[in-house]
Amino acid sequence: MKFRRIIAQVAFPATLCLLAALGCVQKTAAQGCVVAHSVGEVGGPESDGGYLAPKHWQFTLDYRHLYSFRHFVGSVAQEYRQQSNTEVRNRINTFDGALTYQITPRFSVTGTVPVQFASRRYFIAADSLSPTSPASSIEGDWGVSGMGDISFVGQGWIWDPTKNPKHNIQIGFGFQTPSGRDNIQNNLVEIPGQPAVNATADYSIQPGIGVWAIPVSVESFQAINNSMQVYFNGSYLFSTQETNGVANSSPPGFPPPAPQNAFVATADEYLLQAGVGYMVAKVHGLTVTGGLRKEGVPAHNAFTADEGFRRPGYAYSFEPGVIYSMHGGHDLITANIDRAIYRNRIASVPDLQLGQHGDAAFADWLWLASFQHRF
């Protein structure tokens, strides 16, 4: 009985932290304000879903779905866009395959390959967005898919996992390659009745960002008792260039972009998560979680200049979820349904220079799922 209590104490914190890492897939350029991504594998001690043992591997498959359509300028929802059927609708489905190797009890490395399937649709009736809308109705219907930006990250626990089963902090640092395409085009009819044109899809649904980037992450947990713990996780993606060289084109009938917005910006991205988890004693292997999530894109990059077209902003979401550990911790399933509770499309640097404030479409819900196998 004493051994069973020890296992419960050390395994539960790891499972909770794992949720926070698995709940954020690697690349999602979705809601206008580009959703950030968390990097780093987190676990707990070496049994029942705990710390990954040295010389062992872990495969993780993450899935993420969102549908963004609700436009905001600042924190104000632009209800007229839906009422006039002029909202932009993005659907993003992303799969991440990650392989982790535990080198020592404290240090591991992870490689992640994302694959994305996305669409973007809009219809703008003639003169519906006066005075800037075109005289003729226009429509856009893009479908984009492909491999995203592959990343490699090294992680390390601050404290020795064998001596700290109830709390720990893991730091991750790595690099993200520009392996995903950032300029996929579709052949489509933008003006009904006119010939089809070859147009570049919006950056929000492109599989890649087009430049090298530096991901940094932190994951942490603290056990409160044998069945409850709190966690905090954060990640930041540092871009290494101001833009990716892809031209930012306006839809037919709209004025061309200002010089400050002539090319697509490669913006930094960030993610913060905090919450609590509770292990359900009557259902072996089941943990329920609840927390808050903030993710977004800043108006200013940390290491580069800030011109180029971007839609900076952020969203707060309530993040309930479940974790189910099976087969002695070798297999684990997580699921989350996040509900946005606050969204804000902040002004970009070009917006401020031009005396304007652009909008962005955000999602109401975010669906996340993950499967993990250790061997």
Mean pLDDT along residues 293-319: 97
Between 270 and 254, the more confident residue is 270
Q: Hey, is 321 helix, strand or coil?
A: strand
Using CB atoms within 10 A of its CB, is residue 353 exposed (0-12), middle (13-18) or buried (19+)? middle
229: its two tokens:
């713990």
* Amino acid 328: pLDDT: 86
pLDDT digits (tens, 9 = 90+) for 94-118: 999 999 999 999 999 999 999 999 9
- Cα 190–chain centre separation: 30
> Could you tell me which of 14, 23, 19, 25 has the C-alpha nearest to residue 52?
14
6-10, 58-62, 198-202, 284-288: lowest mean pLDDT where?
A: 6-10
169-225 pLDDT, tens digit each: 999 999 999 999 999 999 877 777 788 888 899 999 999 999 999 999 999 999 999
Torsion of CA 279, 280, 284, 290, to 10 degrees: -50
Question: Does residue 131 have a cis peptide bond before it, meaning omega lies within 30 degrees of 0?
Answer: yes
Q: How far apart are CA 257 and CA 350, in angstroms?
A: 11
Q: What CATH number does the domain containing 269 carry? A: 2.40.128.130
Q: What are the tens digits of pLDDT across the range 346-368?
A: 999 999 999 999 999 999 999 99
- Which residue type occupies 13? P
Structure tokens at 192: 């009904």
159's CB contacts (< 8 A; 6+ apart) are 167, 168, 169
Give residue-wise pLDDT tens across range 210-265.
999 999 999 999 999 989 999 999 999 999 999 999 999 887 777 889 999 999 99
**Whether 317 contacts 365, CB under 8 Å:** no
Query: How many angstroms separate the CA atoms of 40 and 174, rounded?
Result: 10
| Largest Cα span, the chain | 77
Domain count, the chain: 1
pLDDT at 42: 32
Backbone angles phi, psi at 196, to 5 degrees: -70, 150
- According to the model, what pLDDT value does residue 138 have? 80
Round to whole Å and give the CA distance between 346 and 348.
Answer: 7
pLDDT tier for residue 44 given thresholds of 50, 70 and 90: very low
* Residues composing the chain: 375
- 139 has pLDDT over 50: yes
Give the domain extent around 61. Answer: 2-374
Please give the structure tokens belonging to residue 239. Answer: 């871009």
| Spatial distance between the Cα atoms of 16 and 225, rounded to a whole number of angstroms | 13
Peptide bond into 255 cis (omega under 30): no
